[in-house]
């Protein structure tokens, strides 16, 4: 297929050619993969500035999306690649192949650097979904940081750079620029731009940006960062967000309240307890969804309110495909037991969904949040239960609301009234404010001259 770049795509390609370090915040559907590959082709086979590129991506994206894009476009012919996925022997064999681009899943980054026994001789590294390196304590971050000084070019790609907090940015930019903009140490970054928020005496549980910190952080990273939203550059279909309330009965509500107040509940001869606030949050989300795990891992049913609401949605769809996002395994099992649904977990099931052959499909945001194109199969998404992760929430919604979608996308949220569901919805909306501000602050203005006018 012939690639005729849009103006904004050529803008980003030129940016990548000019900048040895770049953070590219592109919304889903703007073509970040083909943009990056176009720059890689120029750097490796045209200007010969780069010899060997490592692309780090989510497993399915590294295995399927990047190879598919390389083979899809005519202008990338001659660009060779090797997929470093599989058994250890298969990964080592793939690394020994002669190619310009090596594709590896992020879980194997530490193995590559520390355990493979092969030299880390890549002069360019692309991190697809830079936000997966937001933890400075993660092994993958520490491993990559060790070899970062030997890398000539670093590119970070994501649509959700600070999904939860501006604190996430430190590790991401520490890898990109080795600490030039946000500092070499997380402690200094935290003390410079943040104030303690939730705390217990001397123990600080969370931080909030200090006055003026957001603008200061954005200003520090703006010279190597561009941001583009799909609504600015693509004609996307309408997006309708809908909240459907379900009400628990008095008895169901009483069980929920006991769990919330006491952190322990005896139900149907089973004991349910939560050892801390995080565990309690999970238990309450499960109960809002209709079932909860007991202390032995068994499922204790509570209500079918959300299943009934989902049935109404499926019936109203009148044969149009419906995509359902679930969070807990027992939710998946209960939905499959009630409806003729299918789990999207294989390449074949994804192909059949896009062909319109699956009326009701289930996905888990953690495994389907990145890299999947599902817009051909339907335009209705139902959040059976919610996630606290803004990144997974936005990315999952973007599986349908993206370039190529021909219908209005309707996203239903099943919300159990007066439960933690309402808190999660409010938190997702609140977190988006900070991230939207970040993206707006570094948004690219295609057509500006070099003086920024």
Looking at the DSSP assignment, which residues form a beta bridge with residue 94?
Answer: none
Q: Is the pLDDT of residue 416 over 50?
A: yes
| DSSP string of 140-182, one letter each residue | HHHHHHHHGGG-SEEEEEES-TTSS-TTHHHHHHHHHHTTTTT
Task: Please list the residues that pair with 268 across neighbouring strands.
Answer: none
pLDDT at 31: 86
Question: Lowest-confidence range among 121-125, 231-235, 245-249, 348-352?
Answer: 231-235
The model's pTM is 0.72
Instruction: Return the pLDDT at 419.
Output: 93
Query: 105 - beta bridge partners?
Result: 57
**Is the Cβ–Cβ distance between 184 and 178 less than 8 Å?**
yes
In sign, the C-alpha dihedral spanning 98, 99, 101, 102 is negative
- Is there a shared CATH topology between the 7-233 domain and the 239-434 domain? yes
Tokens of 16: 């990548």
213 token code pair: 């910190």
- Give per-residue pLDDT as tens, 335-346: 999 999 999 888
Start-to-end C-alpha separation, the chain? 36
pLDDT of residue 19 exceeding 70: yes
What span, in angstroms and rounded, lies between the C-alpha atoms of 244 and 309? 8
29-33, 199-203, 264-268, 327-331: range with highest mean pLDDT: 327-331
Residue 298, number of CB atoms within 10 A of its CB: 10
What topology is assigned to 239-434 in CATH?
Rossmann fold (3.40.50)
- If we measure between CA atoms, which residue out of 154, 161, 157, 208 comes closest to residue 179? 154
> Distance between CA atoms of 197 and 205, rounded to whole angstroms?
7
Question: Residue 445: what pLDDT?
Answer: 60
pLDDT tens by residue, 104-160: 999 999 999 999 999 999 999 999 989 889 999 999 999 999 999 999 999 999 887
The residue among 448 and 15 whose pLDDT is bigger is 15
- Domain 7-233: CATH superfamily, name plus number: Tandem AAA-ATPase domain (3.40.50.10810)
Q: What are the structural domain ranges in the chain?
A: 7-233, 239-434
Provide the pLDDT confidence category of residue 451 given band limits of 50, 70 and 90: very low
Residues paired with residue 84 on neighbouring β-strands, in sequence order: 104
What pLDDT shows up at residue 1?
87
Beta strands in 178-281 (DSSP E): 194-196, 199-200, 203-204, 207-209, 225-228, 239-246, 264-267, 270-273
């Amino acid at each position: 297929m012939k690639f005729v770049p849009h103006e904004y795509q050529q803008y980003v390609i030129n940016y990548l050619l000019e900048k040895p370090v770049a953070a590219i915040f592109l919304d889903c559907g703007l073509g970040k993969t083909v943009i990056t590959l176009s720059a890689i082709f120029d750097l490796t086979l045209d200007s010969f500035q780069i010899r060997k590129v490592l692309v780090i991506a989510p497993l399915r994206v590294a295995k399927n999306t990047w190879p598919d894009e390389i083979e899809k476009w005519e202008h990338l012919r001659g660009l060779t690649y090797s997929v470093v996925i599989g058994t250890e022997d298969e990964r080592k064999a793939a690394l020994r192949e002669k190619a310009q681009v090596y594709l590896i899943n992020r879980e194997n980054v530490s193995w590559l650097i520390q355990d493979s026994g092969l030299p880390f001789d890549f002069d360019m590294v692309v991190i697809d979904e830079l936000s997966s390196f937001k933890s400075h304590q993660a092994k993958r971050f520490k491993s990559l940081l060790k070899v970062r000084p030997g890398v000539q070019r670093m590119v970070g790609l994501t649509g959700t750079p600070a999904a939860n907090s501006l604190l996430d940015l430190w590790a991401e930019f520490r890898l990109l620029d080795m600490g030039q903009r946000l500092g070499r140490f997380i402690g200094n970054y935290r003390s410079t731009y943040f104030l303690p928020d939730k705390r217990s005496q001397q123990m600080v549980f969370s931080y909030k940006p200090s006055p003026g910190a957001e603008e200061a952080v954005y200003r520090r990273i703006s010279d190597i960062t561009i941001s583009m939203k799909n609504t600015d550059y693509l004609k996307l279909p309408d997006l309708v967000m809908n909240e459907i309330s379900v009400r628990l009965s008095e008895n169901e509500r009483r069980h929920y309240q006991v769990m919330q107040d006491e952190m322990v509940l005896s139900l149907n001869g089973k004991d349910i307890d939560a050892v801390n606030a995080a565990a309690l949050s999970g238990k309450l989300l499960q109960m809002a969804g209709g079932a909860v795990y007991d202390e032995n891992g068994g499922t204790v049913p509570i209500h079918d309110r959300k299943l009934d609401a989902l049935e109404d949605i499926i019936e109203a769809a009148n044969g149009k495909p419906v995509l359902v996002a679930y969070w807990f395994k027992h939710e998946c099992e209960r939905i499959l037991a009630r409806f003729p649904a299918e789990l999207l977990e294989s390449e074949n099931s994804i192909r059949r969904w896009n062909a319109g052959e699956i009326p009701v499909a289930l996905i888990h945001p953690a495994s389907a949040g990145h890299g999947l194109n599902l817009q051909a199969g339907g335009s209705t998404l139902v959040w059976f239960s919610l996630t606290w992760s803004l990144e997974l929430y936005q990315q999952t919604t973007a599986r349908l609301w993206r370039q190529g979608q021909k219908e209005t996308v309707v996203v239903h949220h099943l919300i159990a009234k007066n439960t933690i569901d309402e808190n999660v919805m409010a938190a997702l909306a609140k977190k988006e404010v900070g991230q939207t501000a970040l993206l707006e602050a570094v948004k690219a203005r295609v057509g500006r001259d070099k003086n920024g006018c």
